[in-house]
């Protein structure tokens, strides 16, 4: 196991309140946590507890109601959309529960989209995409249309697209929840390999113990409401 002490992302006093049926509902309040480079964090909790909202904030897709987000030691202004776009394009990979792909395009073309807004020279895009496809075990399907793939394969394409730019942080929002057991296992295997081989920090939201058990930190978002919690590193048994 790697020991990484470089703080990658840190949030302080994060709060998020949503309005449902004209009533405000607190998803989380005064939440603080940090993830170091090469570490993994699992965010657990029941549906509607705010897991996805937290991940959206960590991937700079949504602004919190209050709190500070620091990335690589620097405070990030979430109103600065250009800076957030740059961070997402170069440093953060995102995988969603639903495999969002462009159906009419091939596996390789979809993966290359992950490099499109980066600073990486476009002449090596295909090579990088093929390397990642090999990592996720889809090299043979590079020219297949994604519409022909199974659920597990589609999710692996999404992972390949998210990691093709070699991000420092990979945010996965319930990446296995819509998959069967076998497909879920193959996705977890890919993520584990990525964590072990690269120095990528992983943040998951999940309610599956199979994922949370392989993470360095676990945070149950339902239990931290209205309380200030600093996450503790909880190494899973046998890891």
Partner 1 sequence: MFKNREWFDHIFSCSVYPAWLEFRTQSKQTITMLCILAIPLLLGLVQYSVSRTTSENINRVYDRPQDRIAIYTRGLNGEHMVTKSEAVMIDDDLSKKVNALRVGWSRDLGATYDHKLADSKIQIKEANINYLEILIKQDETSKCQLCLFKEGNYFLVGPNTDSDLFQPGDSHLLLDKQTRFGGKFNEAWRDVELSSSIVVSTHSIISRLSDSPATARWVVEFEHVPTEKEILAIRTIINPNNPVSVLVESALTENETASHIRSLLGSSSQLFRYITLFIYVGIGVISQLLTMRKKRIEVALFRTLGASVKDLILKGLAEGLLLGLGSWLICFSFINLFQGYAIAFLPHMFSPVKLFEYLLSLFVSVALCCVFVAFAILLSVNRDPADVIRSTGE
Contact residues: partner 1, CB under 8 A = 52, 56, 59, 61-62, 81-82, 85-90, 94, 96-98, 100, 102, 104-105, 109, 113-114, 116-118, 122, 161, 178
Q: Which is nearer to partner 1, 87 or 218 (CB)?
A: 87
Q: Which residue, 117 or 239, has its beta carbon nearer to partner 1?
A: 117
Beta strands in 156-230 (DSSP E): 169-173, 201-205, 217-220, 229-230
C-alpha 81 chain-centroid distance:
19
Q: Which is nearer to partner 1, 62 or 70 (CB)?
A: 62
Rounded to a whole number of angstroms, the minimum distance from the CB of residue 115 to partner 1 is 9
Residue 119 C-beta: closest distance to partner 1, Å: 10
Tokens 């949503």 identify what position?
A: 18
Query: Nearest distance from residue 15's CB to partner 1, in Å?
Result: 17
- Give min distance, CB of 217 to partner 1, in A: 23
Nearer to partner 1, 158 or 190 (CB): 158
CB of 192 to partner 1, least distance (A): 23
199 and 222 Cβ atoms separated by less than 8 Å: no
Segment (H or E) for 69? strand 66-71
Q: Is 167 helix (H, G, I), strand (E, B) or coil?
A: coil
C-alpha distances (whole Å) from 162 to each of 20, 89, 126 are: 32, 10, 15
Which one, 122 or 193, has the nearer CB to partner 1?
122
Q: Which of 238, 220, 239 is nearest to 33 (CA)?
A: 220
């Amino acid at each position: 196991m790697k020991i990484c002490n470089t703080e990658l992302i840190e949030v302080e006093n994060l709060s998020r309140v949503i309005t449902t049926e004209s009533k405000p509902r607190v998803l989380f309040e005064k939440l603080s946590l940090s993830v170091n480079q090469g570490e993994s964090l699992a965010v657990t909790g029941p549906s509607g507890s705010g897991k996805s909202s937290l991940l959206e904030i960590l991937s700079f897709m949504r602004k919190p109601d209050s709190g500070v987000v620091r990335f690589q030691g620097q405070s990030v202004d979430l109103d600065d959309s250009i800076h957030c776009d740059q961070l997402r394009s170069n440093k953060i990979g995102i995988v969603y529960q639903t495999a969002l792909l462009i159906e009419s395009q091939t596996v390789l073309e979809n993966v290359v989209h992950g490099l499109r807004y980066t600073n990486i020279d476009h002449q090596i895009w295909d090579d990088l995409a093929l390397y990642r496809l090999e990592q996720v075990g889809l090299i043979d399907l590079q020219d297949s249309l994604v519409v022909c793939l199974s659920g597990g394969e589609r999710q692996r394409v999404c992972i390949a697209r998210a990691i093709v730019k070699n991000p420092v942080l990979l945010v996965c929002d319930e990446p296995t929840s819509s998959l069967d057991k076998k497909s879920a296992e193959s996705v977890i295997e890919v993520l584990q390999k990525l964590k072990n081989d690269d120095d990528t920090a992983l943040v998951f939201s999940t309610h599956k113990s199979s994922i949370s058990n392989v993470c360095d930190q676990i945070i149950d978002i339902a239990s931290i409401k209205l309380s200030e919690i600093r996450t503790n590193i909880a190494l899973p048994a046998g890891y």
